[in-house]
Homo-oligomer: A and B are copies of this chain.
Amino acid sequence: MSPNTYPSVNAERLWQRHMDMAKIGGTPGGGVHRLALTSEDIEAHVLLVQWAEARGFSVALDPMGNMFLRREGSDPSLPPVSSGSHTDTQPNGGRFDGITGVLTAFEALETINEAGIETRYPLEVAIWNNEEGARFTPACMGSAAYVGFTDLDDMLSRKDQQDTTMGTCVEELAKALPQAQPRDLGTPIAFFIESHIEQGVKLETSGNVIGAVTGMQGYRRFEIEVIGEDAHSGTTPRSRRKDAFVAATDMTRAMREVLWDDEDEMRYTIGRFDVLPGGVSVVPGQVNFYVDLRYHDKATLDRLADEIPEICKSHADPCEMRIVDTPSVDPMVFPEDVVTSIEAAAERHGYGHERMYSYAGHDARHVARICPAGMVFIPCWKGISHNEAERAEPEHVAAAAQVISDILIDRAAA
């Protein structure tokens, strides 16, 4: 296919689809609150399927709740060339994180379909379940289970704060989509590309529109339970308390001493910290909290993360503690030919581009374990993400869809 015959995406339609999606779980503050497989998230899946069926695309669901919208190719024996991301958001998250990757992929399929292009490989939009990890841990659950990085039964047994299991939620999703065909986990994928807002300020600062992502930070995660003893705040002297709040905050502070680097490259976050039972006048007998640690260099990441259990233990007294070192993810790099294909597509359409690193984890990280994969970043206002104020520009979203469309055409024709 010659450069000038790549069909143009429909920027207006793509933006409208973003606005339609933002209504599902939309917040008064202009964001989206659509936790994984809540009724809102299931509604988002159903809407995507309605759009897909209007195009004659088929739908499949795997046992982990990942969804696939498919446009057939000419050779039914070939695995799909795929793009996508996720529909779930953080609590009071934004209108672009995840859904932009899904909608740009869908726009690419619609564009290719309207242009009447026959591909050899089937094309798919993948919607990975529970990328955010906000309702159920761990994050990127759907893509990780798909590629065999985590165990399906373990993931389906995970519970949210209301003790609902992921398994129950996946059943709800399946019930809402009776037309979906079953798909086995690990079913081969020929190629995967994901577009996403940058969630940083590099593109905004440089003025470039397309980031060709070269690799991704690794992370380590710990779940820590500090177990003390509930006690009356008025009657119990300090010497008789087993105050889980005091012990847990001492732990988080001690970790800070070790993890806060002068270069400001290490990402150390306590985002969830549950103090129980939570009465104003009760010395808290338990704190459950999570450590999220990210870095680009595996050796340093592991060296520091391996210190965390000992740091926490040394501040537990007089409480007890349990620490779970949850599955870690190593820093990774995307194949060079995928990065260059992104640059070529950007160049073709006159989009300013640069190579960059991803500080966030994304589903593409896991999918890259089973096929060539890559990521396309677009600018994001002030780098703000996981926040109602998250914002991307219509022309940047369209640029991502254009790059994805071009690349899918090339990969699926080959």
- Using a CB–CB cutoff of 8 Å, the interface residues on chain A facing chain B are 90-92, 132-134, 137, 139, 198-201, 217, 219, 221, 229-240, 243, 245-246, 249, 252-253, 256, 260, 264-265, 267-285, 290, 292, 294, 358-361, 383-388
**Shortest Cβ distance from residue A326 to the other chain B in the assembled complex, whole angstroms:** 10
Are A231 and B384 in touch, CB under 8 angstroms? yes
Contacts of A385 in B (CB 8 A): 231-232, 235
Contacts of A239 in B (CB 8 A): 264
Complex CA–CA separation, A282 to B35 (angstroms):
14
Interchain CB contact (< 8 A) of A91 among B264, B270, B277, B387: B277
For this complex, 26 residue pairs linking A to B, each with C-beta atoms less than 8 Å apart, are A91-B276, A91-B277, A134-B281, A199-B235, A201-B240, A221-B280, A229-B384, A231-B384, A232-B359, A233-B271, A233-B386, A234-B294, A235-B383, A236-B267, A238-B264, A239-B264, A245-B252, A249-B249, A271-B280, A271-B281, A271-B282, A271-B283, A271-B284, A273-B273, A280-B290, A280-B292
**Shortest Cβ distance from residue A201 to the other chain B in the assembled complex, whole angstroms:** 8
Complex CA–CA separation, A268 to B241 (angstroms):
11
Are B294 and A387 in touch, CB under 8 angstroms? no
Complex CA–CA separation, A25 to B294 (angstroms):
43
Are A280 and B232 in touch, CB under 8 angstroms? no
Are B267 and A271 in touch, CB under 8 angstroms? no
Complex CA–CA separation, A91 to B358 (angstroms):
43
Complex CA–CA separation, A285 to B389 (angstroms):
12
Contacts A90-B279, A271-B279 known; list 7 others, CB within 8 Å.
Answer: A133-B280, A199-B234, A200-B236, A234-B360, A239-B264, A253-B253, A280-B292
Most chain B beta-carbon neighbours within 10 Å: one of A278, A285, A292, A383: A278
Interchain CB contact (< 8 A) of A272 among B232, B273, B275: B275
**Known contacts A231-B384, A386-B230, A386-B232; A278 and B237 CB within 8 A of each other:** no
**Known contacts A133-B281, A283-B271; A200 and B139 CB within 8 A of each other:** no
**Known contacts A273-B275, A275-B271, A275-B272; A386 and B237 CB within 8 A of each other:** no
Contacts of A132 in B (CB 8 A): 279, 281
Most chain B beta-carbon neighbours within 10 Å: one of A232, A284, A292: A232
Q: Which residue of B lies closest to A385 (CB)?
A: B232
Which 4 A-B pairs rank lowest in CB-CB distance, beginning with the nearest? A91-B277, A233-B269, A234-B360, A199-B235
Most chain B beta-carbon neighbours within 10 Å: one of A132, A236, A253: A236
Are A281 and B237 in touch, CB under 8 angstroms? no
Interchain CB contact (< 8 A) of A281 among B240, B243, B386: B386
**Shortest Cβ distance from residue A234 to the other chain B in the assembled complex, whole angstroms:** 4
Q: Which residue of B lies closest to A326 (CB)?
A: B280
Complex CA–CA separation, A384 to B241 (angstroms):
10
**Shortest Cβ distance from residue A95 to the other chain B in the assembled complex, whole angstroms:** 14
Are A281 and B229 in touch, CB under 8 angstroms? no
Are A277 and B217 in touch, CB under 8 angstroms? no
**Shortest Cβ distance from residue A53 to the other chain B in the assembled complex, whole angstroms:** 33
Contacts of A139 in B (CB 8 A): 280-281
Q: Which residue of B lies closest to A263 (CB)?
A: B237
Complex CA–CA separation, A281 to B326 (angstroms):
14
Complex CA–CA separation, A283 to B276 (angstroms):
21
Are B235 and A200 in touch, CB under 8 angstroms? yes
Complex CA–CA separation, A229 to B271 (angstroms):
12
Contacts of A281 in B (CB 8 A): 90, 132-134, 139, 269, 271, 292, 361, 386
Contacts of A133 in B (CB 8 A): 279-281
**Shortest Cβ distance from residue A183 to the other chain B in the assembled complex, whole angstroms:** 27
Are B280 and A134 in touch, CB under 8 angstroms? yes
Contacts of A92 in B (CB 8 A): 230, 277
**Shortest Cβ distance from residue A243 to the other chain B in the assembled complex, whole angstroms:** 8
Are B236 and A383 in touch, CB under 8 angstroms? yes
Q: Which residue of B lies closest to A97 (CB)?
A: B232
